[in-house]
Every structure is written in structure tokens, then in C-alpha cells.
């Protein structure tokens, strides 16, 4: 009964979404507010029905309703309560439900926030949002029916993939999908601006916060994904340039470009066409990512089941791109820039370069990801390019971007005078060059590492120079140092929010550089009581024990650090035996630190329990990457606070 109600709810929601999209468009064309209001009710109805469907699906998981194929495939009687909820979006069909629900939520928020503030664009925004919702509801009806029954009803389900039994599985998809779906809002505004012929700068200022919020969640989703990969998969890495990671990274790159280029449009009335293109590109890339990961065209560790769903996404993607290009062509004449680029040494020029580099990085990631398809089509042989390709091509681009991160926020608009340059960059350049020289003298890593670290120091110095100067100016007016700094951050929250986000990127960059440079690992077989050494850590193997957990058996090793400041640390890497799996899954144990992570993976063990093969890694500065996520959160919060300058 419950599954039929769920299917019914989705069908009604689909009908309502189509109705709302059409009615809102007609209302806009004929100037009938009543029709737009009716579409608004439809949007609320769609969200309510999606919430009901999600609730019913969760209920089906909690009550082990194995008559539902999706439930039977992704849970079993042993799945713990907590993971029965995360299992809801653990596979294809449920992930689409979560996705659509979030899109419904964004639609609701748009209704609440913009129904009176953006009169001319609002009906069209509603049409686009409901149109996209209708597409996802269609996917849930035809290629991925989540409430489909299974016959005969199995006595027990297959169980959740053990790798997904992790707390990261609640936050990672939620953050990632909030990011992906969030870009629908700026996209809807962009399309609305084109349709309504209001391509001035209003839509861009209106969607700034939406873009920041979506960008933040996408960033967070990527970071949590890295954390999951790091602490669950047992290879000691956080990023593998896997197609699925790339699929999420590409819209992140274009959205980052957008966050910067909108400032140029706000300030100089330039880049109108470019910004529209970036919004459309970002939204298209979120669809492309879904297509890539759900269609099985490219082999990936994340690959979901293959099916007809890929065709749906490809068709929708084609429709979106064609429609958007058509609209741009239609409004071509009104998209010309009003401002002009005056000088190469200017802020707009730095932002332009930043955009070119980010788009170049997007292109290289795209190219590398689809390379196997290209080479098969062109030369008939299947060739892939792995992580070395992505690193080799992207490292120079990212280092240039970090450099620009120091230049962009401080250089003058229009044309920077020699005095402006000297005032802002003299000290940071001296500090940067000196630290590069110091790193080389101390023999810190390679030239590339020294350059990379020196660049982050240069950028940190530019931020400090700006903060110190601005604080000093306020102190000169009689304020004390800390209140002056606090007042500054809150009063110019947009600017300093950006600075804090830049700081977060620097912290992540140091973490990536450090972990890629100084991490060490070894693999060895130890007898009980025997010890081994890695990077100054002496580690002793103390024995194995076995236990039975709710849905799996477990063999746990005990390892003790016997020397140094970490002496006495006991780590318990294990192997878990799930009945539904033929062979065990490694369970990593680690001790995180500000500089060193000690990271142990049980490789193999003698059946009599007297010896084990263990992978030991000392990973350096990885924690900085997670710390960067915290700083990023603070910076984003600061930058989306209401603008205090207007109020004052």
C-alpha cells in the first residue's frame, strides 16, 4: 500500500510541476498574476508531495519493506537503524529522490524570497525551476521508479554496500546535492532574464547569494567526499581524479569563475555574455556529471547501475544547452558590454585571467575524463589518462590561480598605478620571495614545492597587509585593535568573507602540497610481538581478535606505538566479513594529527592469527584539508551576512 501511495505522490507531483511550469509562463506572457499565483501553489504542492515521497521511502527502509525492490536491494535485517536512513540515498533511485526533494526545497525558498522582489523575472524563474523538477520527476517515474515492487518478496534484503556504512554517507551526498541542485536557481534567473529581455545586471546581483550558497555546499561535498575516501577506502588518499570526482569538480571550477566574474559585471558592466555562459555551463555540467556517473559510459569506482537513465539525462542536457544557446542568440544585440578593459594591470584584468585559468582547468578535467571515449572514437584504441595527467596539467594552472588570489583583491580597478602596486605588493612580494629562498636553503622538497608554499605565504601576506592597514585606519579614529578588526570584518563582510574563503583555499593548498610531498608508507608482515619502524614511529603488532557485530563478523588487529610522543597509542585496523560479500572489507584505523596522521590498514593475516601483513602510512598535513573546510564555512557565513553598508 505504502509504495503505491509513494508512486502516486510522485505522479501527482509530476503533473503539478508540468502544470505549474506552463501556467507560470502563460501568466508571464499575458500578464496574469492569478496564473502565476496558481503556479506558485503548484510549486508548494510539488514540494509537499516530494517530502511525502521521501518520508514514505524512509519509512519503507525503517520497516524493512522488502516488497519494494529498492529497499530489498539496499538494506537487510542487520543494517543498523542509522544506516537504514542513509541507505535511502545509497543507490541510484533514492539518490534521484533526494536530489529532487532538494530541488523542491530550493524552489520553495525561491517562492518565499522572490515572489514580491523580482516581479518581472519571477514567473519565468518558476517556470524553469518547475521544468527542471518535472524532468527529475519524469526520471523517477520511468527509468528509475524507486517504489517499484519485487516479486516474490524476499525474506531478507541484500544489504547496504559495506563501504557506505559510514557517517560521511549522510553528510557527503546531502552537501553535494545541495550544491548541485543549488545552481538551478542562478540558472533559472539567467534563463528568466533572457526570456524576459531583462539582461541588465539585476539578475546577477539577485542571485549572488544563491550562487555562494550552492558553491559552498558543493565545496563542502567535495571535501567530505575526500574525507570519506581517506578514512574508508584505505588507500590513504583523498582525491583520485576519478570520473565521478571530476564530474563534481568541473561545475565547482566554473562556479568559482562565476563568483569572481559577477563582481566585474557589478562593478564595470562588463562580461554580461560571459556570465550568462558560465551560469549555463555550470548548470549543464551538473547534469553532465549525473549523466556520466549514472550511465556507465565511463568506468569508475563509483559506477552506479547502468540503464536507460543515461539517455534521459543526455536528452535533457541537449535540450538545456540548445534552449540556452537559442535564447542567447535571440537576445544577442542586448548583450554587449558597456565597460571597456582599460589596462592589463588592473583588477578586472586579474579577474579575467582568473576566469580563463578556471575555464582552462575545467576543459583539461573534461578532456581527461572523456579521453577514453575520444580515443576510442578517433583511433579505435581505448586509452585513458590517469592521475599523472591531471596533476601535470592542473598544478601550473592552480599555482597561477593562487598567485592571482593574492593580486586580484588588492590591485586597483581600471588601471593600477605604480604607487598602488608598491603600496599593496611590496611587502608580500619580499616575504614571498624570501620564504621561497628559505625553503630552498632548508632543502624543503622540490622547486615546485617551495614555489607552491611561497605562493601561499605571498597570498597570506597580501591579506595581512590589507587587514593591518584597515585596522590601523580604524584605530587612528580611536577604536581598540580587536573591536576595530571585528567591526571591519562585519562592516565589509562581503570583502572579508571573500578573504577568509581565500584563506581556506590556502590552508587546503598547504595540506595538498604537504601530503603529496612528505607522506611515506610501507607494507610489511609482522609476527605477534614483532615491531617495525616508519618515519620515526616504532609500531608493535600485539595480536588479533575476532568478534561478531550486528551485521558482520570482524577480525581486529592490535598495534601499539612504542616510542616518541605518540607512545602508547593503540590502533585497531580490522577486516570486516559481511555475509553478503565473498571477501572481507578493510576497516582503517588512524590517529589524526596537525602534522602527522598515522594510518593503518590490515592487509592480510595468517589463518592462525600469529602474523599479519599491514600497510602503514604516515600521511602529512592531511588534516589541513579538513581544517580548510572549517575556515571555508566561516568565510562563507561572513560573506552571505546581510550587507551592513547599505543599512548604515
Q: Which residues bind another protein (CB under 8 A)?
A: 73-74, 91-92, 158-161, 234, 301-305, 341, 344, 356-357, 360, 363-364, 367-368, 371-372, 381-386, 388-390, 392-393, 396, 523-525, 544-546, 548, 553, 555, 577, 579-586, 603-604, 606-611, 613, 615
Note whether 129 and 303 are within 8 A (CB): no
Measured from the CB atom, the residue of 560 and 613 that comes closer to another protein is 613
**Smallest distance from the beta carbon of 164 to another protein, in angstroms?**
9
**In angstroms, what is the minimal distance from the CB of 301 to another protein?**
8
Measured from the CB atom, the residue of 74 and 286 that comes closer to another protein is: 74
Contacts of 140 (CB under 8 A, 6+ apart): 10, 93, 96, 97, 100, 146
Q: Is 63 helix (H, G, I), strand (E, B) or coil?
A: coil
284 or 349: whose CB is closer to another protein? 349
Q: For residues 397 and 360, is the Cβ–Cβ distance under 8 A?
A: yes
Interatomic CA distance for residues 616 and 590, integer angstroms: 10
Say whether the peptide bond before residue 253 is cis (omega within 30 degrees of 0).
no
| CB 489 to another protein: min, Å | 35
For 133, residues 6+ apart whose C-beta sits below 8 A from its C-beta are 13, 17, 46, 100, 103, 104, 107
Q: Least distance in Å: CB of 303 to another protein?
A: 6
Please state the closest distance from residue 252 (CB atom) to another protein, in A. Answer: 19
Instruction: Find the shortest distance in angstroms from Cβ 340 to another protein.
Output: 9
Of 479, 466, 473, 496, the closest CA to residue 644 belongs to 496
Nearer to another protein, 6 or 90 (CB): 90
| Choice between 410 and 588, CB closer to another protein | 588
CA-CA distance, 245 to 228, in Å (whole number)? 12
End-to-end CA distance of the chain: 58
Is the Cβ of residue 439 or residue 578 nearer to another protein in the bound state? 578
Question: Which residue number, 95 or 471, has a Cβ lying nearer to another protein?
Answer: 95
Region of 99 (left: φ > 0; alpha: ψ -120 to 50; beta: rest) is alpha
Q: For another protein, which is the closer residue by CB, 319 or 344? A: 344
Cβ neighbours of residue 623 closer than 8 Å, sequence gap 6 or more: 511, 592, 593, 594, 597
Considering the complex, state which of residue 480 and residue 607 has its C-beta at the smaller distance from another protein.
607
Judged by beta carbon, residue 89 or residue 624, the one nearer another protein is 89
319/143 Cα distance (integer angstroms): 18
What single-letter DSSP state applies at residue 334?
G
CB of 574 to another protein, least distance (A): 12
DSSP 8-state secondary structure symbol assigned to residue 380: S
Report the 10 Å Cβ neighbour count for 431: 18
CA-based max dimension of the chain: 83
Q: What is the DSSP letter of 340?
A: -
* Shortest Å distance, C-beta 389 to another protein: 4
Cβ(297)–Cβ(373) under 8 Å?
yes
Least distance (Å) between residue 626 CB and another protein: 24
Question: Which residues make beta-bridge pairs with 597?
Answer: 619
- In the complex, the smallest distance separating the C-beta of residue 604 from another protein, rounded to whole angstroms, is 5
Amino acid at each position: 500500500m505504502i509504495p503505491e501511495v509513494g508512486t502516486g505522490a510522485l505522479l501527482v507531483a509530476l503533473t503539478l510541476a508540468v502544470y505549474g511550469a506552463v501556467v507560470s509562463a502563460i501568466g508571464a506572457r499575458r500578464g496574469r498574476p492569478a496564473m502565476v499565483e496558481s503556479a506558485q501553489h503548484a510549486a508548494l504542492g510539488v514540494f509537499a508531495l516530494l517530502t511525502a515521497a521521501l518520508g514514505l521511502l524512509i519509512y519503507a527502509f525503517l520497516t524493512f519493506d522488502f516488497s519494494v525492490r529498492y529497499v530489498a536491494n539496499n538494506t537487510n535485517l542487520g543494517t543498523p537503524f542509522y544506516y537504514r536512513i542513509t541507505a535511502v540515498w545509497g543507490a541510484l533511485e533514492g539518490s534521484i529522490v533526494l536530489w529532487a526533494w532538494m530541488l523542491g526545497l530550493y524552489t520553495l525558498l525561491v517562492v518565499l524570497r522572490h515572489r514580491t522582489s523580482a516581479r518581472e523575472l519571477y514567473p519565468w524563474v518558476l517556470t524553469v525551476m518547475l521544468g527542471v523538477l518535472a524532468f527529475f520527476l519524469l526520471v523517477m517515474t520511468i527509468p528509475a521508479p524507486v517504489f517499484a515492487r519485487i516479486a516474490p518478496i524476499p525474506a531478507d534484503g541484500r544489504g547496504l554496500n559495506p563501504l557506505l556504512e559510514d557517517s560521511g554517507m549522510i553528510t557527503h551526498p546531502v552537501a553535494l546535492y545541495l550544491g548541485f541542485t543549488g545552481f538551478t536557481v542562478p540558472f533559472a534567473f539567467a534563463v528568466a532574464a533572457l526570456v524576459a529581455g531583462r539582461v541588465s545586471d539585476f539578475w546577477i546581483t539577485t542571485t549572488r547569494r544563491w550562487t555562494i550558497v550552492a558553491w559552498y555546499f558543493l565545496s563542502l561535498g567535495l571535501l567530505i567526499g575526500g574525507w570519506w575516501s581517506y578514512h574508508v577506502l584505505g588507500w590513504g588518499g583523498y582525491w583520485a581524479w576519478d570520473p565521478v570526482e571530476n564530474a563534481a569538480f568541473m561545475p565547482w571550477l566554473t562556479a568559482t569563475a562565476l563568483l569572481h566574474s559577477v563582481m566585474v559585471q557589478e562593478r564595470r558592466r562588463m562580461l554580461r555574455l560571459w556570465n550568462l555562459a558560465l551560469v549555463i555551463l555550470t548548470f549543464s555540467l551538473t547534469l553532465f556529471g549525473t549523466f556520466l556517473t549514472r550511465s556507465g559510459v565511463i568506468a569508475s569506482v563509483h559506477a552506479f547501475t547502468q540503464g536507460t537513465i543515461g539517455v534521459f539525462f543526455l536528452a535533457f542536457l541537449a535540450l538545456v544547452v540548445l534552449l540556452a544557446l537559442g535564447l542567447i542568440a535571440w537576445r544577442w544585440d542586448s548583450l554587449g558590454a558597456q565597460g571597456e578593459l582599460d589596462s592589463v594591470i588592473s583588477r578586472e584584468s586579474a579577474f579575467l585571467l582568473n576566469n580563463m585559468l578556471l575555464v582552462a582547468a575545467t576543459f583539461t578535467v573534461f578532456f581527461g575524463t572523456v579521453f577514453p571515449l575520444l580515443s576510442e572514437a578517433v583511433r579505435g584504441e581505448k586509452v585513458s589518462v590517469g592521475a599523472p595527467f591531471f596533476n601535470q596539467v592542473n598544478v601550473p594552472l592552480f599555482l597561477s590561480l593562487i598567485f592571482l588570489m593574492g593580486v586580484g583583491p588588492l590591485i586597483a580597478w581600471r588601471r593600477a598605478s605604480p604607487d598602488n602596486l608598491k603600496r599593496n605588493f611590496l611587502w608580500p612580494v619580499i616575504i614571498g620571495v624570501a620564504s621561497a629562498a628559505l625553503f630552498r636553503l632548508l632543502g624543503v622538497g622540490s622547486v615546485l614545492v617551495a614555489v607552491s608554499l611561497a605562493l601561499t605565504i605571498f597570498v597570506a601576506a597580501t591579506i595581512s597587509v590589507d587587514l593591518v592597514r584597515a585596522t590601523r585606519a580604524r584605530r587612528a579614529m580611536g577604536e581598540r585593535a580587536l573591536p576595530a578588526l571585528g567591526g571591519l570584518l562585519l562592516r565589509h563582510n562581503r570583502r572579508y568573507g571573500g578573504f577568509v574563503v581565500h584563506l581556506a583555499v590556502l590552508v587546503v593548498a598547504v595540506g595538498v602540497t604537504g601530503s603529496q610531498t612528505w607522506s611515506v608508507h610501507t607494507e610489511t608482515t609482522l609476527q605477534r610481538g614483532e615491531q617495525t619502524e616508519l618515519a620515526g614511529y616504532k609500531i608493535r603488532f600485539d595480536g588479533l581478535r575476532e568478534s561478531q557485530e550486528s551485521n558482520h563478523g570482524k577480525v581486529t588487529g592490535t598495534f601499539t606505538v612504542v616510542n616518541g610522543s605518540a607512545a602508547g597509542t593503540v590502533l585497531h585496523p580490522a577486516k570486516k566479513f559481511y555475509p553478503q560479500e565473498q571477501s572481507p572489507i578493510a576497516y582503517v584505523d588512524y590517529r589524526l594529527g596537525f602534522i602527522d596522521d598515522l594510518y593503518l590498514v590490515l592487509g592480510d593475516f595468517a589463518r592462525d592469527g600469529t602474523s599479519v601483513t599491514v600497510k602503514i602510512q604516515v600521511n602529512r598535513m592531511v588534516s589541513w584539508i579538513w581544517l580548510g573546510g572549517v575556515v571555508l564555512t566561516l568565510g562563507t557565513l561572513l560573506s552571505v551576512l546581510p550587507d551592513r553598508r547599505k543599512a548604515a
